[in-house]
């Protein structure tokens, strides 16, 4: 597609429920990143996919968080047993390659609210 597409744009869920967030990167972009941004805070790196390589999960805050990328394209971030501190905007970004010097293109984000 023309840009990075994320869905849903907003999600309200009850504490303890599982949620799935979807990211469809720009066609041809091999690198895909998930970030989290809490209100008034900077970008917190979560996970990174590059082609068919094993993902870099070093930023995932707990084992309740997981992510997949199917066919080197669409990615799903899953949060199990959501907690109120998980409330944030979850941003997906893609680029041509890791360390490619081209910068990232971000999607519009999913605003997650855990009540």
Partner 1 sequence: QKEVEQNSGPLSVPEGAIASLNCTYSDRVSQSFFWYRQYSGKSPELIMSIYSNGDKEDGRFTAQLNKASQYVSLLIRDSQPSDSATYLCAVNMWGGGADGLTFGKGTHLIIQP
- The two tokens of residue 18 are 């599982």
Q: Which is nearer to partner 1, 1 or 103 (CB)?
A: 103
**Contact flag: residue 66 with partner 1 (CB under 8 A):** no
Tally of residues, the chain: 115
Give the nearer residue to partner 1 in terms of CB position, either 83 or 113: 113
Q: How far apart are the first and last CA of the chain?
A: 33
- Which residues between 69 and 108 bind partner 1 (CB under 8 A)? 89, 91, 95, 98-99, 101-108
Q: Based on the shown chain and the rule CB under 8 A, indicate whether residue 59 belongs to the binding site for partner 1.
A: yes
Q: Rounded to an integer, what distance in angstroms lies between the CA atom of residue 89 and that of residue 111?
A: 4
Choices 11-19, 20-28, 38-46, 63-71; region in contact with partner 1 by CB under 8 A = 38-46
For residue 35, CA distances in Å to 42, 77, 88, 89 come to: 10, 10, 10, 8
Residue with tokens 């009850």: 14
Binding of partner 1 by 58 (CB under 8 A): yes
Q: How far is the CB of 56 from partner 1 (least distance, A)?
A: 5
């Amino acid at each position: 597609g023309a840009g990075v597409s994320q869905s849903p744009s907003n999600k309200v869920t009850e504490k303890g429920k599982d949620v799935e967030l979807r990211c469809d990167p720009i066609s041809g972009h091999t690198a895909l990143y998930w970030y989290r941004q809490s209100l008034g805070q900077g970008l917190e790196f979560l996970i990174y996919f590059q082609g068919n390589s094993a993902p870099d999960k070093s930023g995932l805050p707990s084992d309740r968080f997981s992510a997949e990328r199917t066919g080197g394209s669409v990615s799903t971030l899953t949060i199990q047993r959501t907690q109120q501190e998980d409330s944030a905007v979850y941003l997906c970004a893609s680029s041509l390659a890791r360390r490619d010097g081209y910068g990232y293109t971000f999607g519009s984000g999913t605003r997650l609210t855990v009540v």
